[in-house]
Amino acid sequence: MQTIIIKLDSRKMENPDLDIRYTMPERIEKITSGRIADNGYDYITNYELGIWLATENAHEMFPAVTEIIRNDSNLKSAEVYISDMENAELNECKKVYP
């Protein structure tokens, strides 16, 4: 499995409802028919949240994540990172969006 991380900055969100750590992965998993799955979350800093996702091919699947972000006004400041590694940390990933 490979890694996709969505980094959210609550200071830049219109509605910083951190239940997004549960609802966003569920939404992505449903839209991608399970090709991207929830792999947990962690606080990167006091105001930044990372949502980890697992997929067979991060390079192929990250555009589906960015499309969801583009269509959600509360996520306009989100960043997306990917790695070929399983359970990669943020510093092991490459930023692919924006």
Domains and CATH numbers, the chain: 2-97 (3.30.70)
Rounded mean pLDDT of 24-28?
93
How do residues 83-94 score in pLDDT, each as one tens digit? 999 999 999 999
Helix (H) or strand (E) holding 26: helix 20-31
Q: How far apart are CA 61 and CA 25, in angstroms?
A: 14
Of the chain, the percentage scoring pLDDT greater than 90 comes to 72
Residue 45's pLDDT is 92
Residue 73's pLDDT is 75
Q: Where are the alpha helices (DSSP H) in 58-98?
A: 58-70
pTM equals 0.92
pLDDT bracket for residue 16 (50, 70, 90): low
